[in-house]
Structure 1
Amino acid sequence: MRPARTVSCLVSAALVLAVTGCGTDSPDSRGDDREGVANTSADTDRVEPAGDAPVDETVAGIRSFTGAFGELLAERGAGETENTVFSPLSLGYAFAMLRAGANGDTADQLDDVFGFPEGVHAAYNALSTGVVNTGDAEDQTGPDATREPDEQPPDPVVSIANGLFVQDGIEPGEDFLRTLARQYGAGAEYVDFSTGSAAEKINDWVSDRTDERIDTLFDELDPQTVTVLANAVYLKAGWESPFDESRTTDEPFHLADGTTTQVPMMNKEAAELNYVDGESWEAVQLPYVGGELAMWVVVPTGEPGQAPPVTAGMLEEFEHGEPAELDLALPRWDYGADAELLPLLAELGLSDLDDLGGIAENVVVDDAVHRANITVDESGTEAAAVTGIAGIVSAPAPADKTIRADQPFSYAITHEPTGAPLFVGSVADPG
């Protein structure tokens, strides 16, 4: 992976499902001339989102899953000593695609764990239209860039990509193919899993769709694999109001075990930001350019300890934040996290993944992987010159409140119009 070069950049090549033949012979190859050819047996034109798609119900399901999955990570101790990051939205997309081929108990468990309503595929299609911003990632420059005071920063870049990779010689179900093509924009790409070339092709797909932030999803795949579902979510955005880099200083961060470490701490003084508090936490909103995306930073209000998990209720409370004059201290961070999903999802009630007749006969889920990484610092994607603007204003009035993320804290990147959580994580040690 190349070094991160942006300030507020998140990527999730979030989920890959390796669906492997169960008790069947290896498929007959149709020859190398077919590999990489999109499936033509189903309508591959993506449809316009339905106006009555159940987006609100689908987002409620994503939020509920976010809380359950985050709490599970916390119970396992991952958030106490390790930084976490995952994309609820990307996980939702990948398993919604799986739902298109599921029947019986498998379908029921997917609905229960992810809160999929009737019409979920149309809802995810509509979410793509609402969340995605197809700006040019190359327009987004790093923190060393300069910008005139009256020059506007570029719009955020958000992309969501779905992929379907099929063993040459396998014919997935027509309804499954049609749903993925029409609602997710994923036409089947034929590969040869038996030779090892499929992993390289899928890794290239992931790298291309995450601006090379994630370049390896599989080192290798089981030669018996017949289908892979993949999703990638990529976000690149600048703060609406950047941090002044001259105010970043090395300060102590209080770890959960009672020790401290020195980290670069970014600072804002008397900034008007949306604020909300709960029983044992408080949160502040940091909007990105354009106003539709924001990061909520959540810090505990008691003694330093484990970061508070982001729950469904917390995500709902964010909608009721009120403006407040705040002093804010927030560290830079840059890390990634991987997860083997099957054992985690089994604890949430998703253990029956073998009734997938809508994809093909006698297939079961063999593997599910989630990878994500995040980089945060002062300026966003192109905001270094804007940092200088804050330095020329008059001295602000004293703030009503100070929030210091100098202990383990959580965060959530949300799409404000829908409330959908794109990325969620916790910072145990920003160093």
Structure 2
Amino acid sequence: MKKWLVVMIVVCVLTVLVWASKSGNMEDTRRFSNHLGYASGTVFQNEDYKKVVNSNNQFGLDVLKIIGGNKNGNTLISPVSLFMALSMVYNGADGETKEEMGKVLQSAGIDSIEMNKANASLMSLLQRNSKQININMANSIWLNNRFHFQTEFADNSKEYYHAKIQEINVMDKQSPKRINDWVNKTTNRRIKKMVESPLAPDLVAILINAIYFKGDWKYEFNERQTEKRTFHLTDGATKKVPLMELNEKLPYLETEDFQAVSLPYGDGKWSMKIFLPNENSSLEEFQDRLTFDNWEKWQTNFTVKEGKIRLPKFKIEYEQLMNEPLKELGMVSAFDDERANFSKLVTEKNQIWIDRVKHKSYLVVNEKGTEAAAATSVEMKKEMAPLGGPFQMEVNRPFFFAITEEESGTIVFIGLVSNP
């Protein structure tokens, strides 16, 4: 009878509306700052994150293009969530499987250690706090006490991702509760349950990465100005939705195809960028233009301009099985029970492959700011020119958005809203 190795990697990204209580400054970014709890000997260069930011962004845009949008539905993914999860799995891959994963992650030519250093640098950069923005990352590995990680894999997980490895008895009814309690606490009770009880007897490990972010808009929308207005759905129907209103000087971009505005959070180091296709265009046509090269070009063309934006209050709950999109991007052998090569993961000599990759996400946008959460699980089995005057932008039809960290340009969330 075949034994299975199941490794579940769960990445939880959470955005909360409350203000950060404490200001934090980056220390020497060649080593993880003490408040992050990383090994004092973990060394990386200040700008190592630049090696993976473009990879993360292009990977996210590639996945979004394949997933597409549902008619009168909404889509939301966290590129950072997916990228970090698969990067950790990448440490256990070898041969053809590692080569394919590197290409899909847009990281071909970067070895595992360089990727780990770049991810450590990115995690450190993203976790810089201010009075209004507070973000924290946490990782844990729950290992079946009958199995053993290879030393290099375990060391890399601890050193670069600060993953605390905890052994569990998968037959113990308290083990699922311990895992869910950790996720619940780490995500400020936004994600209460990630594993089912009882755990499968063939489970070997659950690896969890959690990101917690909280912040408000730099310029809050006035609730008294929010009013129900008409929103045009993809199929031609209309509905009344609450549109918030903001009059402010904001980074703005307009082309013959779309309007775009950047809404900053807190001290301006994070923002949500809204792209609204013109009335004679569509969200589907915008997606065709949403290439990495165009994204990079658009980021340099925003100029500060006074104007008014009306934006829907909206909520998205989304779930997507990522197997087929990742296969379509070229990550094929990792899902093949005969060709997969994860020989660097555990000491036991067994064939290991990815059974499924699932992504769940949640987002709420209102007058105060944004609340968002995302979880990625990887289960592995074993054997143009601005207009003159103030701009007017009423987001009353399907649109695209991205939440980014401004210094690095990292896309943390991207989404399509067809039905707010």
TM-score w.r.t. the length of structure 1 is 0.77
Distance 1:195 1:54, change over 3 A: same
Code of the residue aligned with 1:323 in structure 2: it is: V
Q: How many residues align?
A: 356
Quote the offset at 1:57 in angstroms.
2.5
- 1:126 corresponding residue in structure 2: 121
Corresponding position: 1:242 with 2:220: yes
CA-to-partner distance for each residue in 1:332-385, whole Å, 9 max, x for gaps? 112221222222211211122221111113222233222221111112389xxx
- 1:313 corresponding residue in structure 2: 293
Quote the offset at 1:290 in angstroms.
1.3
- 1:380 corresponding residue in structure 2: 369
Alpha-carbon distance in structure 2 between the residues aligned to 1:339 and 1:196: 29
1:13-412 to structure 2, matched below 5 A, reads: 45=39, 47-51=41-45, 54-74=48-68, 78-116=69-107, 117-118=110-111, 119-133=114-128, 154-195=131-172, 197-220=174-197, 221-269=199-247, 271-278=248-255, 280-303=257-280, 305-306=282-283, 308-309=286-287, 311-316=291-296, 317-353=298-334, 354-360=340-346, 361-362=349-350, 363-380=352-369, 400-412=390-402
Q: Is the 2:52–2:115 Cα contact (8 Å) retained in structure 1?
A: yes
Alpha-carbon distance in structure 2 between the residues aligned to 1:65 and 1:244: 36
DSSP 3-state at the match of 1:187: strand
Q: CA RMSD in A?
A: 2.5
Alpha-carbon distance in structure 1 between the residues aligned to 2:255 and 2:177: 46
Which blocks of at least 5 consecutive residues in structure 2 are unaligned? Answer: 1-13, 20-37, 335-339, 372-387
Code of the residue aligned with 1:181 in structure 2: it is: K
Which blocks of at least 5 consecutive residues in structure 1 are unaligned? Answer: 10-43, 136-153, 383-397
Quote the offset at 1:223 in angstroms.
2.4
Corresponding position: 1:427 with 2:407: no
Quote the offset at 1:70 in angstroms.
0.8
Alpha-carbon distance in structure 2 between the residues aligned to 1:282 and 1:219: 44
- Could you tell which deviates more after superposition, 107-116 or 198-207? 198-207
DSSP 3-state at the match of 1:297: strand
Quote the offset at 1:197 in angstroms.
4.5
Alpha-carbon distance in structure 1 between the residues aligned to 2:94 and 2:163: 21
Q: Is the 1:66–1:312 Cα contact (8 Å) retained in structure 2?
A: no
Alpha-carbon distance in structure 1 between the residues aligned to 2:249 and 2:324: 43
Q: Is the 1:46–1:184 Cα contact (8 Å) retained in structure 2?
A: no
Q: Is the 1:196–1:223 Cα contact (8 Å) retained in structure 2?
A: no
- 1:151 corresponding residue in structure 2: none
Quote the offset at 1:163 in angstroms.
2.2
Alpha-carbon distance in structure 1 between the residues aligned to 2:417 and 2:318: 11
Quote the offset at 1:162 in angstroms.
2.1
1:410-421 to structure 2, matched below 5 A, reads: 410-421=400-411
DSSP 3-state at the match of 1:193: coil
Q: Is the 2:74–2:416 Cα contact (8 Å) retained in structure 1?
A: yes
- Could you tell which deviates more after superposition, 405-414 or 227-236? 227-236
Alpha-carbon distance in structure 1 between the residues aligned to 2:353 and 2:173: 20
Code of the residue aligned with 1:246 in structure 2: it is: R
Quote the offset at 1:304 in angstroms.
6.4
DSSP 3-state at the match of 1:343: helix
Distance 1:103 1:273, change over 3 A: same
CA-to-partner distance for each residue in 1:198-243, whole Å, 9 max, x for gaps? 4433322222221111112233553212122222222221111111
Q: Is the 2:251–2:262 Cα contact (8 Å) retained in structure 1?
A: yes
